[in-house]
Amino acid sequence: MKKIIKAARHKKKLTQKQLGKIIGYDETYISKLENGNKGFCPESDAIAAIVKH
């Protein structure tokens, strides 16, 4: 999933900060999603918001 999120963000030419602002999360959260930090469990609301945009 992390590669898909990063690829989609790059395709739309958005920074992590810009994507975070659009979906209501900070850039640190987006970074954790994209890097697949161990022990990090993304919220379903965040995933749904990314899919929408």
pLDDT, tens only, 11-31: 999 999 999 999 999 999 999
Arithmetic mean of pLDDT over the chain = 87
CATH assignment at residue 42: 1.10.260.40
Chain centroid, CA 43 distance in Å: 11
Give CA–CA dist 48/43, Å, rounded: 9
| Structural domain range at position 38 | 2-52
Q: What is the pTM of this model?
A: 0.78
Residue 21: the pLDDT is: 96
Reported as a pLDDT band with limits 50, 70 and 90, residue 48 is: confident
Q: Please give the structure tokens belonging to residue 2.
A: 């992390």
Give CA–CA dist 4/11, Å, rounded: 10
Residue 5: the pLDDT is: 87
Residue of 40, 38, 35 lying closest to 1 (CA atoms): 35
Residue with tokens 């810009």: 18
Chain centroid, CA 31 distance in Å: 7
Number of domains into which the chain is organized: 1
What is the arithmetic mean of pLDDT over 1-18?
Answer: 91
